[in-house]
Amino acid sequence: MAVISNGTTLMDAGAISIAVGSMTLIKTLTASNSATLSFVDGASGVILDNTYKTYIFKFHEIHPSSNDAEFTVNFRDGETAYDATKTTTAFRSYHFEGDDSGLGYQQSNDLAQSTAIQKIGQLQSANDNDSCGGGEMKLYNPSNTTYVKHFQSRYSHHYTNSSPGQIDNFISGYANVTAAVDGVQFKFDSGNISTGQIKLYGIGE
Amino acid sequence: MGLISNATTIFDAGVINGAGAISFIKKLTASNSATLTFINGSSNVVLDGTYKEYLFSFKNIHPAGNAADFGFVSSINGGTNFDQVNITSTCFVSYQTEGDNARGIEYSAGGDLAQGTGQQRLSDNQDTDADECSNGFLTLINPASTVFNKQFYTNISQNMDDPALYHGFHSGYFNTGSAINAIQFAFHSGNIASGDICLYGVG
């Protein structure tokens, strides 16, 4: 049976015929003084394969357990270690409560063929209980075995309480591997993720 | 015909309610293609007032020739002409080389237009190296408006032949009071060897 509304076929022959939602929540991880939050394909309901060609990680109210900690990401490419080789670029805009502001490239946060963690944020405060960070990271076609894997993040957060203010970080890069990326791990460069959520979505087609 | 359940309208007027804020519309896959073209009303493409915002996603866009710039042109007459819409735009890039010998953020004059009707560049100087490509999004705001000019903005990451990463941000407007009803993507020289472009409507 077909369902037709206002002349438009909504469903027929066992299929929905019109555009429907294409952003699917895959997994939510909630930090509770967690050393890492890791999304691994096939584990705990996580999908990070060729089911989707674009994945989006959303960061909500990320708060560190240690002062001056920087939020990071890394990728695994076939082994268990999160150490994919990356080349990345970084810039940020900032405005502090003392009215200092600026825009510029952030060399300390870029990588050149490095397996190290990629900083996607800068100094965050653990002492300020109301401070946190939020944003998102897109990862393109991680299961592809022909091309490098591009990613783009934007992470805005309250800057460290020694110079309180807002900082808006833009990172882009690629895991310079042709092996599939099947795991993504987030952590602070020191201390734990005290609280916060990371949600993984898949974008259809 | 509508369907109402427990006082909630499930669907009506040809639309399923609450089906999700981002709706997939159309996917075009390149296979050594000269162009990939989305025309409203053609091949199930919707690019009209149904949505106030449209997203184009680019995945693994790979050129057939070296030194190729990916980009788009637009049409107000269903694809009959792609050279009649003025665009004014701005572009900046952040970049870093694999050799760690050059980096920065800078304005990219080559990526902007000033009332230009030619290609709006989305990537710069892509090469045919087997593992290199570009990925990203183009957001188009209310292309069907006949009151305002039409805004767009991008977030594109690409390999460049240094080798390096370029992260490009373009923003601009179609300076026309007519509806934009077709968008065509291509490299400025050579074909699109592979890759796909998906069109989404944002409800």
pLDDT tens-digit profile, chain A (205 residues):
777 766 666 667 765 555 556 899 999 999 999 999 999 999 999 999 999 999 999 999 999 999 999 999 999 998 999 999 999 999 999 999 999 999 999 999 999 999 999 999 999 999 888 899 999 999 999 999 999 999 999 999 999 877 899 999 999 999 999 999 999 999 999 999 999 999 999 999 8
How far apart are the CA of A158 and the nearest CA of chain B, in angstroms? 23
Whole-prediction pTM value? 0.90
Q: Do B22 and A203 touch (CB under 8 A)?
A: yes
Contacts of residue B7, Cβ cutoff 8 Å, sequence gap at least 6: none
Q: Which of A141, A152, A170 sits opposite B59 (nearest CB)?
A: A141
Rg (CA), chain A: 19
What amino acid occupies position B61? Answer: I
Q: How many CB atoms lie within 10 A of CB A99?
A: 7
Q: Which of B15, B133, B167 sits opposite A152 (nearest CB)?
A: B167
pLDDT tens-digit profile, chain B (203 residues):
677 766 666 666 655 555 567 999 999 999 999 999 999 999 999 999 999 999 999 999 999 999 999 999 999 999 999 999 999 999 999 999 999 999 999 999 999 999 999 999 999 999 999 999 999 999 999 999 999 999 999 999 999 988 999 999 999 999 999 999 999 999 999 999 999 999 999 98
Tens digits of residue pLDDT in A73-115: 999 998 999 999 999 999 999 999 999 999 999 999 999 999 9
- DSSP output for A107-170: GGG--SSB-SPEE-S--B-SS-TT--EEEEEEEE-TT-SSS-EEEEEEEEEEPPTTS-EEEEEE
CA A8, CA A10: separation in Å to the nearest integer? 6
- Please tell me the predicted confidence (pLDDT) of residue B166: 97
Q: Do B157 and A174 touch (CB under 8 A)?
A: yes
Q: Do A140 and B201 touch (CB under 8 A)?
A: no
Give the 3-state DSSP-derived string for B44-107, with helices as H, strands as E and coil as C. Answer: CCCCCCCCCEEEEEEEEEEECCCCECEEEEEECCCCCCCCCCCEEEEEEEEEEECCCCCEEEEE
Give the 3-state DSSP-derived string for B120-132, with helices as H, strands as E and coil as C. Answer: EECCCCECCCCCC
What amino acid occupies position A75? Answer: F
Burial class (CB within 10 angstroms; exposed 0-12, middle 13-18, buried 19+) of A181: buried
Q: How many CB atoms lie within 10 A of CB B80?
A: 10
CA B178, CA A159: separation in Å to the nearest integer? 45
Q: By C-alpha distance, which of A53, A204, A177 is closest to B59?
A: A53
CB contacts of A107 in chain B (<8 Å) are 103
Candidates A106, A146, A150, partner chain B, best to mutate (most B CBs within 10 A) = A150
Candidates B12, B98, B128, B159, partner chain A, best to mutate (most A CBs within 10 A) = B98
Bridge partners, B139 (sequence order): B55, B153
Q: How many CB atoms lie within 10 A of CB B128?
A: 15
Structure tokens at A40: 């691994």
Candidates A3, A10, A114, A119, partner chain B, best to mutate (most B CBs within 10 A) = A10
CA A5, CA B142: separation in Å to the nearest integer? 25
Tell me the CATH number of domain A24-203, given options 2.60.120, 3.30.110, 3.40.50, 3.80.10: 2.60.120
Domain-wise residue ranges, chain A: 24-203
CA A72, CA A48: separation in Å to the nearest integer? 19
Q: Do A6 and B1 touch (CB under 8 A)?
A: yes
- Coil, helix or strand for A175? strand
Interface of A with B in 30-59 (CB under 8 A): 53-54
Q: Are strands A15-16 and A8-12 parallel, antiparallel or unpaired?
A: antiparallel
How far apart are the CA of A164 and the nearest CA of chain B, in angstroms? 25
Q: In what order do the strands lie in the sheet with A3-5?
A: A3-5, A8-12, A15-16
Chain B: residue whose CA lies nearest to A21: B20
Bridge partners, B31 (sequence order): B194
> Across the A/B interface, how many CB contacts are shorter than 8 Å?
147
Q: Do B103 and A105 touch (CB under 8 A)?
A: yes
ipTM of this complex: 0.86
- Please tell me the predicted confidence (pLDDT) of residue A5: 67
How far apart are the CA of A51 and the nearest CA of chain B, in angstroms? 14
CA B118, CA B51: separation in Å to the nearest integer? 26
Q: Do A3 and B94 touch (CB under 8 A)?
A: no
